[in-house]
Amino acid sequence: MSRVAIIVGHARTGTFCEALGEAYRDGADSAGHQVRLFVTSRMAFDPILHEGFECVQPLEPDLVAAHDALFEADHVVIIFPLWLGTLPAILKGFLERVLQPDLVSHARDGRYGKPLTGKSARVIITMGMPGLVYRWWFGAHALKMLKRNILGFVGVAPVRSTVFGSIGSASPQRLSGWLAQIRAMGERLS
């Protein structure tokens, strides 16, 4: 049995991203894993790191729960829509807040190791453009940034990804198929 932390980084509630998070949760839960789902639009926190990394900004209760789940997890799932070519500001703020260096014991001790080493991840991105266009023409830069500069920097590996493009024109059958695909990933923790 593994521990799983799912983060849905969206500014609105009731989205397809949230449905994907619930599908992954349901699949992992049915396979007997311990699962925590965090939906940023349903959380109460300030996404702005006001002093940068100069001093610790205390975490609100919702962020304390997310921080603890993230550090206890064996597998992390991050789901978000592509907005202006990158992740939504609320997700970036969430990550900046829960990964503040002074909240990590290594950094408090003056060592900048990789505190999430040994954890795997799945990144799921939804977007309006075709996924192939995003990967090949635009170079999947937001995905690369998240994998290398954030998750890789803190030690998460391997990081697998799934891109669902043309969300706005997808048929109900296609959306249902994607939800079933993500539920199966949750069962396998892939």
Question: Which sequence spans correspond to the domains of the chain?
Answer: 3-188
Amino acid of residue 153: F
Amino acid of residue 161: S
Superfamily of domain 3-188: Flavodoxin domain (3.40.50.360)
For 124, phi then psi, to 5°, come to -120, 125
Could you tell me the two tokens for 39? 């939906």
- Give yes or no for a contact between 131 and 169, defined as CB atoms under 8 angstroms apart: no
Q: What is the pTM of this model?
A: 0.94
Could you tell me the two tokens for 140? 């999947």
- CA-based torsion, 104, 78, 45, 67: positive or negative: negative
b/e 103-122 (16+ beta carbons within 10 angstroms → b): bbeebeeeeeeebbeebbbb
pLDDT in tens, the chain (190 residues): 999 999 999 999 999 999 999 999 999 999 999 999 999 999 999 999 998 877 889 999 999 999 999 999 999 999 999 999 999 999 999 999 999 877 665 555 655 678 899 999 999 999 999 999 999 998 999 999 999 999 999 999 999 999 999 999 999 999 999 999 999 999 999 9
- Give yes or no for a contact between 11 and 5, defined as CB atoms under 8 angstroms apart: no
Could you tell me the two tokens for 71? 């550090």
